[in-house]
């Protein structure tokens, strides 16, 4: 019950991100959600799409270093405190969060949160126990 994410290494230099988005756009890939973690020297672009296998292939063919990572995906009501509900459960159960990002599904009044945690199996169990809605596809 996890969501696949693609992470790509990019140097923190002018034009690098747009070069990559051009490659993805030309291949007809629709980005569902995207986030960038950056340092002075490099960035890690992380995103999810509907066809991660194809994305991985396209990126490698174009000389990028990319990798697939399993994330936890949860869907919460798009209301105040929605994210906190989930974080509280993870925190109380000593699950550490490496990073997260989210996007809203406005038409459904829902928000999707994607997590990278230190212990995915444990997180899955405690989230299920607390009735939080896990998703595997977006």
Dihedral angle computed from the Cα positions of residues 57, 36, 21 and 110, in that order, rounded to the nearest 10 degrees: 90
12 versus 109: smaller Cβ distance to another protein: 12
Binding interface with another protein (CB under 8 A): 5, 7, 9-11, 16, 37, 39, 41-42, 44, 46, 63-67, 69, 98-99, 116
9 versus 26: smaller Cβ distance to another protein: 9
Count how many residues are written for the chain. Answer: 138
To another protein, the closest distance from the beta carbon of 108 in angstroms equals: 28
Dihedral angle computed from the Cα positions of residues 30, 137, 88 and 129, in that order, rounded to the nearest 10 degrees: 180
To another protein, the closest distance from the beta carbon of 79 in angstroms equals: 30
Rg of the chain over Cα atoms, rounded to whole angstroms, equals 16
To another protein, the closest distance from the beta carbon of 98 in angstroms equals: 6
46 versus 111: smaller Cβ distance to another protein: 46
In sequence order, the β-bridge partners of residue 37 are 44
In sequence order, the β-bridge partners of residue 35 are 46
To another protein, the closest distance from the beta carbon of 82 in angstroms equals: 25
Name the H helices within 37-81: 52-61
């Amino acid at each position: 019950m996890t969501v696949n994410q693609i992470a790509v290494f990019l140097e923190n230099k002018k034009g690098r991100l747009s070069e990559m988005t051009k490659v993805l756009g030309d291949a007809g890939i629709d980005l569902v959600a995207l986030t960038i973690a950056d340092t002075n020297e490099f960035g890690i672009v992380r995103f999810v799409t509907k066809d991660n296998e194809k994305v991985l292939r396209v990126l490698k063919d174009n000389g990028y270093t990319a990798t697939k990572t399993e994330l936890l995906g949860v869907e919460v009501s798009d209301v105040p405190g929605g994210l906190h509900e989930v974080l509280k459960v993870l925190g109380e159960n000593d699950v550490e969060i490496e990073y997260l990002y989210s996007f809203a599904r406005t038409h459904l009044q829902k928000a999707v949160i994607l997590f990278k945690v230190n212990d995915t199996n444990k997180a899955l169990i405690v989230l299920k126990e607390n009735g939080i809605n896990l998703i595997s596809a977006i």
